């Protein structure tokens, strides 16, 4: 892989005052905060064209410029099965399988077996975004989550879909199976959420770093074994791990959530149903693109369907 320099320049439109290293590590999620701090120490980060320290606070209308060295990855097409729900000249809808990364990463052992590798094999309408060759994947998701994923097929579609994502006009509906019985038919959860100051890999509602308001609405659909509740979830905001953190925070964690629940409870599900990931599936997408309304349903994958079929309708 050949190394070359990449330069990013962004304007701050938020009113909240934030440290520059925290802001950039949240903006570039594939870079660690310590890496950002090293760039600042090397004078590779400027605010309003001035050299700054990692403690510098950002304010509205500041201009931030970051320069770093990166590598262009050679990504190979691979014959990996993908579940294409819909496809037209503007976009495709993929029902993503669990246990597959969406994008390759620079480490050699993670440059293959991803959704990007699969799309390179199955489709010929790929584009180039900035410094990495990849399909126009509109949004991201966890590796072990299955759900409907939008793939834009041209620049016009990508720009329009990204605007809709930013304005929250694309409606995503999830199904989740949570521990314990929820008696109320409908719930609404609102809290501030962001990274745990003691564990960067976790999100939290307790004294989060750079808190962001998160809103989740859900309703009860079915019960299982008088111990678990199947819920339909509508996200009113889109924060990292929002569904998982919110349900854990109110005492109804999603089953087999390895980060926000305990090992003993997960082992019960593993032994009984052979489930090895959280029961969370984004099964419906609704949006309007170029004056046409679309609605898609993604069927459960086999491991979740085995449990879903045992649930009795209320």
Tokens of 307: 């449990």
β-strand partners of 138: none
Q: How many Å apart are CA 129 and CA 137, to the nearest integer?
A: 10
* Whether residue 21 lies in the annotated active site: no
Among the options 90, 142, 196, 234, which is catalytic?
142
Nearest Cα neighbor of 158 from 121, 115, 132, 126 is: 126
Tokens of 198: 């003691």
The answer to whether the beta carbons of residues 174 and 233 sit under 8 Å apart is yes
Q: How many Å apart are CA 245 and CA 291, to the nearest integer?
A: 35
- With b for 16 or more beta-carbon neighbours within 10 A and e for fewer, the 252-288 pattern comes to bbbbbbebbbeeeebeebeeebebebbbbbbbbbebe
Which residues does the annotation mark as catalytic?
A: 142
């Amino acid at each position: 892989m050949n190394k070359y320099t990449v330069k990013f320049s962004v304007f701050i439109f938020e009113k909240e005052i934030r440290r520059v290293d925290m802001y950039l590590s949240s903006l570039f999620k594939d870079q660690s905060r310590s890496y950002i701090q090293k760039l600042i120490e090397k004078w590779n980060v400027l605010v309003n064209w001035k050299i700054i320290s990692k403690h510098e606070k950002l304010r509205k209308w500041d201009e931030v410029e970051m320069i770093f060295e990166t590598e262009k990855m050679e990504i190979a097409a691979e014959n990996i099965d993908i579940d294409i729900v819909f496809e037209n000249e503007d976009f495709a809808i993929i029902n993503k399988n669990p246990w597959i990364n969406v994008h390759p990463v620079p480490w050699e052992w993670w440059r293959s077996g991803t959704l990007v590798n699969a799309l390179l094999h199955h489709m010929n309408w790929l584009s180039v975004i900035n410094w990495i060759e990849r399909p126009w994947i509109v949004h991201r998701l966890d590796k072990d989550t299955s759900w409907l994923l939008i793939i834009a097929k041209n620049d016009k579609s990508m720009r329009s879909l990204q605007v809709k994502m930013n304005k929250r006009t694309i409606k995503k509906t999830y199904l989740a199976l949570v521990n314990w019985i929820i008696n109320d038919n409908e719930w609404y959860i609102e809290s501030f959420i962001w990274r745990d100051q003691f564990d960067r890999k976790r999100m939290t509602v307790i004294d989060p770093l750079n808190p962001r308001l998160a809103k989740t609405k859900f309703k009860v659909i079915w019960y299982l074994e008088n111990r678990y509740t199947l819920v339909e979830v509508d996200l009113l905001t889109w924060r990292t791990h929002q569904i998982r953190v919110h349900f854990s925070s109110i005492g109804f964690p999603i089953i087999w959530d390895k980060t926000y629940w305990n090992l003993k409870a997960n082992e019960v599900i593993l032994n009984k149903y052979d489930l090895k990931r959280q029961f969370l599936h984004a099964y419906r997408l609704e949006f309007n693109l170029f004056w046409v309304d679309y609605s898609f349903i993604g069927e459960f994958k086999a491991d979740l369907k085995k449990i879903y079929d045992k649930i009795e309708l209320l």
